[in-house]
Chains A and B, each alone.
Chain A
């Protein structure tokens, strides 16, 4: 009996192996690109609604805009084949393009799309609203001259260059007005339908979106510059970094993003893979609530700025994710000023605290989203500030919890992140240097500086002036002035690290170039033979 049992056990085991063995798995096909990432934040694929990075990456392949910005920041034609700038506005001439539905792209679609963006009036509209376009004036400012000509007049708060950059964003995507209007219900501008369908003229169309599972894009064979090389693009939700790593190693995905620094490190110098470190122009920031009794004192804020070991954290924690920098403008941008002299200096920091009247230190809470690398960053700041005498109590939460606290000014310290919407000083800095009304009643929760209750009227005025300056040279001077003033004010929104998005690619993939504002286009991506 005993022998029988053992025999049975061994037999079953061997049997299981032989059943399992023939099931072998092919790597991804040559004409399909598979991207592994976290889709948890993707809530909509309506370009006039969604602003989340991963959604933008998908939508930028479904839709075209009038103009496009290249990864190195140049404005190039997309649906507009040319444009003329005059004193009052810009006139665009459209190229002969078609939507995936077969309808031609006309000036009417452009007018409809920009109107739809502003009348739907969600976060996506913020970019244009910030420079004076809104649902009330859009019909007057954006008009169709003829079938293939569109006129956009200046709002009075924007220069031609600033407007072009905004028109290159995914939020100003041009949608198929005929198709969208077929799906309007309850005056929703077709939003309910558009969240899960596409009506664009981009190189791909949306085949399927299952939230938190996958997104399948099909090649648009009639795309104006020819069908993309990839027949399908599959974006797969892989929430677990280690699992993503294994899938990439195994060849089941071709491109991986949203990995932890530790998993990323395993691909360094590994044959068959390359790491791309995409600059975002944005920052990991320490927001200090200037409404707090301690943090309202600029000396305390300066003490904190001296109390963080930027270089050490860059080396041990940020790795591919960030580079130490305390001015909210990447150092390779034109007119960027050198870093202020705020290295870790415990003695100086203590002295500043003493001068501020807090010789014995105090306690603060630090809120952060429990996510790589922010959570490790919080721990490092806690350790570093402990040496100065500031006791930090870390409170972790999920995205909506922490953002809600940030919006409600309900925090002492908090670690948000930013990104630049254009590759110039204003594009990365504006959100750090403008707060038109700091009163509680203004309730301007959409403003990053307001959330820190940091009152900066002078800097706000200077920012507005710079954004209206048409002369590039004078603008450059204003940019330098803005940055200097920012540093002088001992910022309550303290940039710590310039932010990068690292991705890992299989070397089978060619032509994938990550875009700083996630407008990564996939039409020219190719794949070599599966290895």
Chain B
């Protein structure tokens, strides 16, 4: 014990040394990332305590959200978030994988090097601008052409029944799809670039056609990374706030019809948080935030592990 104390004293004498101080400062800043993450979870958790205590598990299954009455159920928002982001992802993933394959394996290198950064640049357009386009251009277009067509020809299905409002679950799905495609495409492309050249050459040498080479050598190698890219896209879609708030119609319905307005978790926070007057109301919104935070934490952690796995395998590249 004594020797440990002495050693610590020895250390503290060395703190006069610039190196040690510098090391401490940088360590402190690096650890601030962990502190911020922890702070987020704790802060959101403690702020949502009143709602957690009052509603318990019923919060997740309740469908009534009334600030005046003081009853809060999150199901319509959970439903809206899950349906909009999962459907957007189902539409976006095959297109993104196709585009990434085209850019890495099929078109010539020069074109790939031009188009890929353009897609990345477009991914940087702020979500509020996608929302602006969505609410002023896409929603009216959906209302005038796409939705009437769907109602007329597929209206017998519950998914396409109702009136064409323009702002709707469908509009949210489309805008989310457009927004996550660049993200999934560029990460998938990076994953595919990590596939060793020798493996592809081996497939070609065995007489595989281009598609067979992709199916046998490229896709299996990149599978977990591509899955990671899609899950990362899901994380973005679940957390996307502004664009969805602007086009989804903000009505807490649970309806099978994709044409009816809906609501999502980030949207209700964006719309109500600044105006929440009662403690219970803001605690309920905090609890929705906490749910969203935990969902995206899990989704992101999973996606990163999958993507890291692949790029570590292809470590030779860089």
A-B complex is real: no
